[in-house]
Amino acid sequence: MDPAPPATRVDPAAGAAPRSPKQRNRVLRAVVGRPASAASLGVVTVLVVLAIIGPLVAPYDPDAQDLSNRFADPSWAHLFGTDDFGRDVLSRIITASRITIVAPLISVGIAVAIGLPLGLLAAIRGGWVDAVAGRLADTVLALPALVGALAIVAVLGPGLVNTMIAVGIIFAPTMFRIVRGAALAVTEETFVQSATAIGSSQRRILAVHVLPNIAAPVLVQVTILMGVALLVEASLSFLGLGVQPPDASWGSMLKAAYASQFDAPYAVIPPGVAMVLTVLSFNTIGDAIRDAVGIRRRM
Amino acid sequence: MNSRMVIRRIGGGLLVLWLVSLLTFLMVQLIPGDPAEVIAGDNASVADVDRIREQLGLDRPVYEQYLSWLGGVLRGDLGNSLFTNQPVTEAILDVAPPTLALTLTAIVLALLLGVGTGVIAGLRQGSWIDRAVSTLATLGIAMPSFWVAMLLVSVFALTLRWLPATTYVPLDRGFGTWLSHILIPATALGLATAAELARHTRGCVADVLARPYIRTARARGASTPHLIGRHVLRNAAIPVVTVLGLQTSRLIGGTIVVEAVVGISGLGSLAVNSVLQRDYPVIQGYVLFCALVVVVVNLVVDLAYGWINPKVRAA
């Protein structure tokens, strides 16, 4: 096996951790047990519900214009005021939550779809497969996330779908390293070696021993990447390369709000606070799971 | 770190750079459809398309294109912009100074703020200062730099009118003017880095203070300032260097959005504009330039460990 240090250092004690159902309970209990992470779970839950039923609970039609009432200050009628077209900001934040939350979800899904199988393959096969995949990961990781995403958007063209693909590709190497490192750590455990010794097939070892044991580090990384992906996609939308009107995300709302900063200097606050709260929640949940399953913090 | 390891690290860096160059070259080849037609746009004449095809060498076999492109890159010739016809290397060096000034100022601010608060929090573990620092650090990591820049512009430039809102002013117009223009974007850019530094410095200080040799030194009557200077800061240098190395990518990415907020014409604006205009030679040059910076910084960080920590040097 390649002696290179795995990307995530798995605590030796956690390698022999109880498998799926018990571990799942432990993770859930750890997240709900702390006030900060319980609150974060609440925020994410509310957000997911809003993303699904948003248009039903928004007080106004998010696209209804009222040009006689542009840049209205917050009031009981419009809690967060109105924007440059007189549209209700609160309703727009609620309905924009759908794209804001679905985009990073798809990006992280793409990252897992690429990184998980390649990471397992590299850990199990080793040799040239591992070397080639590892080098490729190093190469993509040599580019700052936003620069890499910018380059991919330059090839595919601007737009929401292309941004999601770009961010997914950019995060795939991170996922690859996590999976490879965790899988390598598991295959060195005695229970995997004894399973090999009694003649278990590679497929069985993978399904019964390896996958359940790498689930925790993958889950932590998925949670953390959700926050980062949200920020990268917001950045791209702010630069005009991501979500295009009439669609809206919190990132593109910030772009519009900033363009009218002289008329409404505080319009940048609601979408930004929503974004920070969401990212903060994902980070807090990720930290709680990490502590619960005994993975040491990354540098 | 011995010379064999240094050579291995440099070799690894060169390999990554070569692979980045390969991917960057392939960018144009991967454009869906006919690259020359896509780049020229919808209203281009046949002559325009042919001119672009010839300028990018797209009429030649791929391996020939790659070899001549790579040859140019190694000589520092990244081709010419498709719109201004300016050599790409020149275009990048022209706008690099504001971005460099912005990034370095952000790093200095982050070091002052992050290491300072981190040491204080580590010395007073469990106090309200410690809790405040760790809460603010968690918040700082979750805040996108472009939003922080917007808030700072809103508050300090538009409402209080303490600082100018936009543009970069070169240093030769006076240090005060330069600083007043760069303070908002540099703070926005450096805040997340400061937060990371504070977290890791705090952890390291707490770690060092629990060591037996600190108790021994205290028993000998060493004063707290002496302990901080002699033991704590020296040990904290390692996580600080590591975090700064890892933050390079974030800072480079951050310059793109922060420059867009405050209207600085730097490398980030150049990159965004060339993506919008589909000016591929400039994008390729920018991507290569960023990869070069990241690889060199990682190398310097690796070498710095040996210089800071005698244990690594001996190994």
Q: Under an 8 A CB cutoff, do A235 and B257 touch? A: yes
Chain B contacts of A156, Cβ < 8 Å? 32
Question: Least CA distance to B29: which residue of chain A?
Answer: A155
**pTM for this model (two decimals):** 0.86
What are A73-95's pLDDT values in tens digits?
A: 777 777 777 777 767 788 888 88
Looking at residue A21, its pLDDT comes to: 59
Percent of chain A past pLDDT 70, that is, above it, reads 89
Chain A contacts of B41, Cβ < 8 Å? none
Looking at residue A12, its pLDDT comes to: 41
What are A14-47's pLDDT values in tens digits?
A: 444 444 556 667 777 877 878 888 888 888 888 8
Residue B302, min C-alpha distance to chain A (Å): 15
Looking at residue B58, its pLDDT comes to: 76
Question: Least CA distance to A263: which residue of chain B?
Answer: B158
Between CA B305 and CA A81 the distance in angstroms is: 53
Chain B contacts of A254, Cβ < 8 Å? 146-147, 150
Percent of chain A past pLDDT 90, that is, above it, reads 26
Looking at residue A8, its pLDDT comes to: 43
Question: Least CA distance to A273: which residue of chain B?
Answer: B143
Looking at residue B193, its pLDDT comes to: 93
- State the complex-level ipTM: 0.88
What are A247-276's pLDDT values in tens digits?
A: 888 888 888 888 887 777 778 888 899 999
pLDDT, mean over chain A: 82
How confident is the prediction along chain B (315 residues), in pLDDT tens digits per residue?
A: 567 888 888 888 899 999 999 998 888 888 877 777 777 777 777 887 887 787 777 777 888 888 888 888 888 888 888 888 889 999 999 999 999 999 999 999 999 999 999 988 988 888 899 999 988 998 998 899 999 999 998 888 888 888 777 777 777 777 878 888 888 999 999 999 999 999 999 988 888 888 888 888 888 888 878 888 778 888 888 888 888 888 988 899 999 999 998 888 899 999 999 998 888 899 999 999 999 999 999 888 888 877 777 666 554
Is the minimum CB–CB distance between A186 and chain B shorter than 8 Å? no
Query: Which residue from A17, A20, A45 is spatially nearest to A32, judged by alpha carbons?
Result: A45
Looking at residue B285, its pLDDT comes to: 92
Query: Which residue from B288, B290, B274 is spatially nearest to B39, judged by alpha carbons?
Result: B274
Looking at residue B159, its pLDDT comes to: 80
Between CA B46 and CA B85 the distance in angstroms is: 19
Chain B contacts of A154, Cβ < 8 Å? 27, 274-275, 278, 280, 283
Q: Under an 8 A CB cutoff, do B139 and A280 touch? A: yes
What are A178-189's pLDDT values in tens digits?
A: 999 888 888 888
Residues 17-36 of B with CB under 8 A from A: 17, 19-20, 23-24, 27, 30-32
